[in-house]
Every structure is written in structure tokens, then in C-alpha cells.
Structure 1
Amino acid sequence: MFLNIVQGKKLAFIGDSLARNQMESLLCLLSQVESPLNTNKSTEGKYQTWYFPSHDFTLMVMWTQFLVQATQRTVNGTATDVFDIHLDKINSEWTNQLPGINFAVISTGNWFIRKTYLHKDDKLLGCTLCSDAKDLGYVFAIKNALSTTLEFLLSRCKECEGMMTVLRTYTPSHFEHGSWFSGGNCNRTQLLSESEVMSLSGNAWRIRESQVEEFGKIVKRVENEEKMMNEEEEVGVVGCE
């Protein structure tokens, strides 16, 4: 049923390894119906394209940790876990792949939870998880990176007209009773219930709220623009009469 609905279309998951996991899950399900062809497999699976010939459907994944431009810092030639993130500059490595995409599922979040330095207009605004500059927090960083991305897709990406954009909000931790590196486990056999999800608190929920807020701004803006266009059309019809 899904393959019949998306026949002749292209769907892309855009984000980090969680986006790739979602793509792989869908790929696994659809492979029970038709064996796809891997037409573009990059190193480490960061960019992959799977084609279902019988349905002319293309499934893609585009790797981007932050959606916006970021540079990893090095010390004595060795890469560190610290990044310089330009919150107002889109990462063209994935946006260059957008022409022809019908459905884009974007996501981001987990890579921001580390020491980063945040830039805008080529000026240092502050940092996250640091002590040598103003700590703006990673919720601020995620929100601004998403704002830049949505603004690009709406206003600056001429090839994106007609493309449906879906936002996958920040995912809660899949481990409990401790942190990822110390004491946590992933022994769940069932998904979180709706009440459990709604009871989430702390930074995970604040990240989600900030993402929903930014997405809501874009939706409201599109609705207002469509309303104005409709009103202008009505005025034109009345004028002709």
C-alpha cells in the first residue's frame, strides 16, 4: 500500500544516525515487498539511495549532524569533539541533493549536546557546555539551527517548491536508569506510552518544545501568505466584474 502511494516519488531522511535508522527501518519493511537497488552508497553510509524499480520509488538518507555549517576543531592534527557551528549558514552538502525530492523528513538534536562554539554573521555569540565564553545552551543552538533550515526550505530553496517537509522532533533517550556511558540500559520491550511521553521533562522536552515552536512559526507564516494570496485573487475577480 505504501509503495503504491509513493509510486514515482522520492523520499529523503535528513539528519544524523537516527535519521539513517529511520530510513533503514522503512527500507527493511519495504524490502519484504520488493528488493531495492542501492544506486548510491557513500562511505560510512552517510549518503545512500535505494531504488524500487517496480514502483519507481526512491528512498534516500542524507547525513548532516547539525543541518547548518559546522567545522570540527583539531589539536595538533587530531580531531576533537568540539565544533564551531554557524547558526545562520545552511550546510549545502545536503541541500544540493534536494532537487527532485518530494518528501523530506528532517531531524537534528543529539550532536548539539557537546562543547560547541556558536557563530552568527561570522561573529562568536557564545558556546554550549563550556566555561570560556557565554554558555547559551544547546536548546538555543538547536532552535536557531532549525530556524535557519526552515527559512531556507521556505524562502531560498527554489527547487523545493511542492516538496513536503516533515519535522521529526527530538527523540527521548532510549536508555534508562543511568547515562549512556555509565550504568544505563536499554531493556525495554515496549515503546513509551503516550502518557509516558507527555510526562517527559528536562532538556529533552525543552528541545522538543523549541522545535515545535519554530516549526509552528513557519506554518503560521505560510498560512498567512496563502490567506493574503486568496484575498488578492478575490479582489481581482471583483474588479473584473
Structure 2
Amino acid sequence: MLDMLRGKRLVFVGDSLNRNMWESLVCILKGSVKDPSKVFEANGRQHFRGEASYSFIFKDYNCTVEFFVSPFLVQEWEMPDKNGIKKETLRLDLVGRSSDQYKTADIIIFNTGHWWTHEKTSKGKDYYQEGSHVYDELNVLEAFRKALTTWARWVDANVNPMKSLVFFRGYSASHFSGGQWNSGGACDSEVEPIKNATYLREYPPKMLVLEKVLRGMKPMSLT
């Protein structure tokens, strides 16, 4: 794989699921090189949870494997409410702030999905914004569609399909045992796909929205 990546930039953009994939890939690739000292994070960082972006350089191959934090692919925002107090919103009409930094990468892997199940996003009350307008209430699937449409238009307009490969990773329903991700649930002991239909959920509705948006993109934009 490093030979295939020689001289290229491989970039992951999205939430913690893409970060996990990025971390795993960096570890696997670093473990395969002859001289691990020639693999290093561009800014010398040792912890990978708090910064907006990370880039591992594989010097002998002149390639990088990078991650940009963008859990919604559109911009998290702040604006004053009627009392002048800043409140958080999500700009459905603006692609993520880091987009100019990776639009010329050779391979770009996007994902989003699970953050849209959190309380503010799932309820959609006084949170979603387009231009100066903040919706009193907006269904999460419609907000998700608007955000993905913004992302898709940006890809069509800014990423050169003759140079870059673009992938979008879908997602599955949560599958923790013993609780949810933030209440003691875990899935790290699983080694095979779940086959018991009792535990299988229906195809996530947001994935249907995603598929429809992808079909509307220009040919060759997405792999």
C-alpha cells in the first residue's frame, strides 16, 4: 500500500469513526516500514484527540496520511440570540472550514452520520442555520440532506476528478453491548459480523438520504 501511496496525500475527513480508521491505518503502515523513525506527525503531536487536523509523513515514500476533524462536513457556528448571548448553530449552507486544505489531495475519504443522532441535532430545535436564518425546528433528515447537498456541491465545484479519488464511507446503526457508547457499552470483543436477526436494525434512513444525494452528483466526482 505504501508503494501505491508513494508521492501522494491520503486524507480522511469526518468524525471519530474516520479518525479510528486513520489511526489504525497509520499504525499498520508504520509497522511495515524498515525505519519507523522516518514516520512522524508533521507537527510533532503525540495525542490525537484535541486538534483540528493531523498529518503523518512517511518520509521514505514521500506520502502523507492525514485526518481533518469535521463531524458534520458543514460548519459548526455561533451567533447571538435575542439577548445577545452566543448560541451554537450548525450552518447547513457552509462546508467545513478546513476544506481548502485538502481539496487537492490525491485520495479523500469522507464520512458523517452518528453525530446527527445526538440530542441537539436529532431534535433540530433552534439549531440549524442557513444564511442568517435559524430554523425554529427542522427535521433531522431534511437537515442532513441539506448539509450533504452543500458538501456534494463543494466536491463537484472544487475537487478535480482527474486528479483526486473521492470516497464516502457509510455507517451502520449503533451496535454496542451493555449500554450505549457513553454509558458503558462496548463492542471491542466482537470478532465476527452479527448474524442474529434479533439484534439487527433496519437500514439507517440517513443512508437512504445519502444515496439520493450521491446520485445527483456529477459523474466521476465520487468513487
TM-score, normalised with respect to structure 1:
0.72
Q: CA deviation at 1:108?
A: 1.0
**Percent identity at matched positions?**
24
Please list every run of 5 or more consecutive structure 1 residues that lacks an aligned counterpart in the other structure: 126-132, 226-241
Cα distance, 1:140 vs structure 2: 2.3
Structure of greater relative contact order (alpha carbons < 8 Å, 6+ residues apart): 2
CA distance in 2, matches of 1:73, 1:174: 35
Partner of 1:101: 105
1:47 aligns with 2:53: yes
How do residues 8-157 of structure 1 correspond to structure 2 at under 5 angstroms? 8-34=7-33, 35=36, 36-40=39-43, 44-71=50-77, 83-91=88-96, 93-112=97-116, 113-116=118-121, 117-125=127-135, 133-137=136-140, 139-155=141-157, 157=158
Correspondence for 1:164: 165
SS of the equivalent of 1:85 reads strand
| AA in 1 matched with 2:66 | M
Change (3 A) 1:73 1:181: farther
Q: Residues of 1 paired with 2:188 and 2:65: CA distance?
A: 31
Shift of 1:119: 1.8
Spell out, residue by residue over 1:168-207, the C-alpha distance to the aligned partner (whole angstroms, 9 max, x if none): 11243141354334464436422425896xx531xx6111
Tell which deviates more after alignment, 17-26 or 181-190: 181-190
Report matched runs for 1:203-214 at 5 Å.
205-214=204-213
Greater fraction helix:
1
Counterpart contact for 1:98–1:160, Cα < 8 Å? no
Computing the radius of gyration from Cα coordinates, the structure with the larger value is 1
**1:82-132 per-position Cα deviation (integer Å, ceiling 9, x unaligned):** 7311111112x211212541000011122222214112233223xxxxxxx
Matched to 2:63, the amino acid is F
Q: Which letter does structure 2 place at the counterpart of 1:52?
A: F
Measured on the aligned residues, the alpha-carbon RMSD in Å equals 3.2
CA contact (8 A) 2:172 2:204 kept: no
CA contact (8 A) 1:13 1:105 kept: yes
Q: 2:206 & 2:106 partners in 1: Cα distance? A: 27
CA distance 1:205–1:194, change in 2 (3 Å): farther
> Which string of whole-angstrom CA distances, capped at 9 and with x for unpartnered residues, describes residues 11-61 of structure 1?
000012221111001011101112212113578243111111111111100
Give the SS at the match of 1:40.
Answer: coil
AA paired with 1:173?
Answer: S
| Structure 2 portions without partners, runs of 5+ | 122-126
TM-score, normalized by length of structure 2?
Answer: 0.77
Aligned to 2:201: 200
**CA distance in structure 2 between the aligned counterparts of 1:74 and 1:179, rounded to whole angstroms:** 33
